[in-house]
């Protein structure tokens, strides 16, 4: 019997790389994203849904998720960066938009997942959840919220291993925007990102898969930075 994987934000970037990686490994993948990726594989089942529509998540996704009686690993990967600008220029509306997708959408999904059997849940966090880089206000606040969300749910989903995972810097349109379009004299994190290791989504997907084979090494509810561990 094939093991089941659930991935949000599966149409691009890390989510797409994880989807293809697990399909190649022979898993059955259930994907959620606004647009269906061009994947022709009978083991890929897709649901088109915009997770920013928070109030409709339980109504629209419960049946899709709960039909999966046993899930090996869930990747709550969907999220957004928001605009990089100094905190005093960020409106509450802008902060709420990022926080809602990055935190509250995952809260609604975790509520659904409490009603099925799930072995592991990995919620994608970021090093920005720990480091207050200038300009990253919306993203950093939301990813710090992700870390605490995971910690809180680990006390309620006691039969599931759940971690917040910072996957490192991945080459995506989001990071290209930061690295090549922003002024490093205004936002010093640009230089830091360009001087560090930037991995492809495919390289990151392989590292994450290897990490999932050793989840017993991590306490449920914890924050894990993949760059700080030896797999």
CB 71 within 8 A of CB 8: no
Looking at residue 2, what DSSP letter applies?
Answer: P
CB 108 within 8 A of CB 194: no
Tokens for 211?
């990490």
Instruction: Provide the β-strand partners of residue 170.
Output: 199
CB 82 within 8 A of CB 97: yes
Instruction: Provide the β-strand partners of residue 29.
Output: 5, 44
Which residues of the chain are modeled with pLDDT < 50? none
pLDDT digits (tens, 9 = 90+) for 65-93: 999 999 999 999 999 999 889 999 999 99
Tokens for 77?
């990967």
C-alpha 125/C-alpha 98 separation (Å) is 13
Q: In the prediction, which pLDDT does 166 show? A: 96
Q: What are phi and psi of 137, to 5 degrees?
A: -50, -55
C-alpha 73/C-alpha 182 separation (Å) is 36
C-alpha 28/C-alpha 2 separation (Å) is 6
Q: In the prediction, which pLDDT does 196 show? A: 77
H or E segment to which residue 30 belongs: strand 28-33
Q: Which residues contact 118 (CB under 8 A, 6 or more apart)?
A: 70, 71, 74, 157, 160
Q: In the prediction, which pLDDT does 185 show? A: 82
Q: In the prediction, which pLDDT does 230 show? A: 61
CB 17 within 8 A of CB 205: yes
Q: What pTM does this model have?
A: 0.94
Burial 22-49 (b: 16+ CB within 10 A, else e): bbeeebbbbbbbeeeeebeeeebbbbeb
């Amino acid at each position: 019997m094939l093991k089941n994987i659930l991935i949000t934000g599966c149409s691009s970037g890390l989510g797409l790389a994880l989807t293809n990686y697990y399909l190649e490994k022979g898993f059955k993948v259930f994907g959620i994203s606004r647009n269906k990726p061009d994947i022709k594989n009978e083991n890929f089942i897709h649901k088109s849904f915009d997770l920013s529509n928070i109030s409709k998540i339980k109504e629209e996704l419960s049946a899709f998720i709960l039909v999966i009686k046993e899930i090996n690993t869930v990747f709550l990967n969907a999220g957004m960066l928001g605009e990089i600008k100094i905190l005093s220029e960020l409106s509450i509306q802008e902060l709420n938009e990022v926080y809602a997708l990055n935190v509250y959408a995952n809260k609604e999904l975790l509520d659904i997942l409490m009603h099925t059997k799930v072995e592991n849940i990995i919620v994608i966090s970021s090093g920005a959840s720990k480091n207050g880089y200038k300009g990253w206000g919306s993203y950093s606040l939301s990813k710090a919220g992700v870390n605490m969300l995971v910690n809180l749910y680990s006390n309620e989903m006691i039969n599931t291993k759940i971690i917040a995972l910072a996957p490192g810097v991945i080459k995506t349109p989001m990071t290209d925007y930061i690295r090549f379009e922003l002024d490093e004299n205004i936002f010093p994190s640009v230089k830091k990102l360009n001087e560090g290791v930037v991995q492809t989504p495919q390289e990151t997907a392989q590292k994450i898969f290897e990490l999932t084979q050793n989840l017993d090494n991590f306490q449920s509810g914890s924050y894990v930075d993949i760059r700080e561990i030896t797999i």
